[in-house]
Amino acid sequence: MDSFDYIKYKAAHSSNFTNIILKEDLSMGSKKCIGEVCRGRKRPLYCFDEWHDPEGHPDKWRERCKGCDTIWWIENKLKLYKGRWKGKRFKLFPWQKVVTFDVFGTIKPDGTRQYKEVYIEVPKKNGKSPLVSAYGAKLFFNDHEPGCEIYPAACDIKQASIIFNNMKYMIEQNETLGKKCKIVDSTKRIIHNSQMGSFISVVSADTKTKHGIDVHACLFDELHAQPNRNLYDVMTKGSGDARLQPMFFYVTTAGYDRNSICWEVHQRALRTMQNPENDPSFYAVLFYAEEDDDWTDEKVWLKANPSMPEIISIETVREACEIAKQSPADENFFRRMRLNDWVKQESRYIPMHDWDKSGILFEPENLKKEVFFAGLDLSSNIDLSCYLILCKQDEYYYVIPYFWIPEDNIKKRVDKDKVPYDNWLADGFIEATPGNVIDHKYIETRIIQINTEFEIAESAYDRWGAIRMVQNLTEEGFKLIPFGQGMASMAAPTKELLSIILQHKLCHNNHPVLRWMADNLVVKTDAAGNFKPDKEKSTERIDGIVSMIMAFDRCIRNEYEDGNVYTDYSPIVI
DSSP string, 295-316: TT-HHHHHHH-TTTTTSS-HHH
What CATH code is assigned to 355-557? 3.30.420.240
pLDDT confidence tier of residue 3, bands split at 50, 70 and 90: low
Long-range Cβ pairs for the range 415-423 (8 Å, 24+): 417/540, 419/516, 419/540
The whole-angstrom separation of Cα 541 and Cα 418 is 13
The whole-angstrom separation of Cα 74 and Cα 133 is 10
The yes-or-no verdict on residue 285 having pLDDT over 90 is yes
Cα 151 to Cα 80, 204, 206, 222, 317, distances in angstroms: 20, 9, 14, 14, 33
How much is the pLDDT for 211?
A: 66
DSSP state of 85: G
Best-predicted range by mean pLDDT (11-20, 319-328, 396-405, 520-529): 396-405
- Among 3.40.50.300, 1.25.60.10, 3.30.1490.100, 1.20.1250.20, what is the CATH number of 119-287? 3.40.50.300
pLDDT confidence tier of residue 350, bands split at 50, 70 and 90: confident
**What is the distance in angstroms between the CA of the first residue and the CA of the last residue of the chain?**
66
Arithmetic mean of pLDDT, 122-127: 95
CA dihedral 202, 208, 211, 217 (to 10 degrees): 20
Distant-in-sequence, close-in-space partners of 208: CB < 8 Å, separation ≥ 6: none
The whole-angstrom separation of Cα 126 and Cα 206 is 27
Domain ranges of the chain: 1-114, 119-287, 298-348, 355-557
The yes-or-no verdict on residue 104 having pLDDT over 50 is yes
User: Which alpha helices (DSSP H) does 24-145 contain, by range?
Assistant: 58-63, 66-77, 94-105, 128-142
Task: Compute the mean pLDDT over every residue in the chain, rounded to the nearest whole number.
Answer: 85
pLDDT confidence tier of residue 4, bands split at 50, 70 and 90: low
pLDDT confidence tier of residue 96, bands split at 50, 70 and 90: very high
The yes-or-no verdict on residue 162 having pLDDT over 70 is yes
The whole-angstrom separation of Cα 216 and Cα 243 is 6
Burial class (CB in 10 A: 0-12, 13-18, 19+), 282: buried
Best-predicted range by mean pLDDT (231-245, 479-493, 502-516): 502-516
The yes-or-no verdict on residue 431 having pLDDT over 70 is yes
Helix, strand and coil in the chain, % to nearest 5: 40, 15, 40
**Among the listed ranges 13-27, 76-90, 459-473, which one has the minimum average pLDDT value?**
13-27
The yes-or-no verdict on residue 38 having pLDDT over 50 is no
Given a contact cutoff of 8 angstroms between Cβ atoms, the answer to whether 401 and 388 are in contact is yes
The yes-or-no verdict on residue 81 having pLDDT over 70 is yes
Distant-in-sequence, close-in-space partners of 412: CB < 8 Å, separation ≥ 6: none
Handedness of CA 266, 307, 338, 137 (dihedral sign): negative
The yes-or-no verdict on residue 44 having pLDDT over 60 is no
Burial class (CB in 10 A: 0-12, 13-18, 19+), 372: buried
Nearest CA-CA partner of 508 in 388, 345, 349: 388
User: Which alpha helices (DSSP H) does 183-279 contain, by range?
Assistant: 230-236, 261-274
Positions of E strands within 234-384: 247-252, 282-286, 371-377
Arithmetic mean of pLDDT, 421-428: 94
The whole-angstrom separation of Cα 437 and Cα 84 is 61
Given a contact cutoff of 8 angstroms between Cβ atoms, the answer to whether 384 and 405 are in contact is yes
Q: Is 455 helix (H, G, I), strand (E, B) or coil?
A: strand
Arithmetic mean of pLDDT, 425-437: 92
Q: Is 1 helix (H, G, I), strand (E, B) or coil?
A: coil
pLDDT confidence tier of residue 158, bands split at 50, 70 and 90: very high
Identity of the residue numbered 483: F
How much is the pLDDT for 509?
A: 95
pLDDT confidence tier of residue 200, bands split at 50, 70 and 90: very high
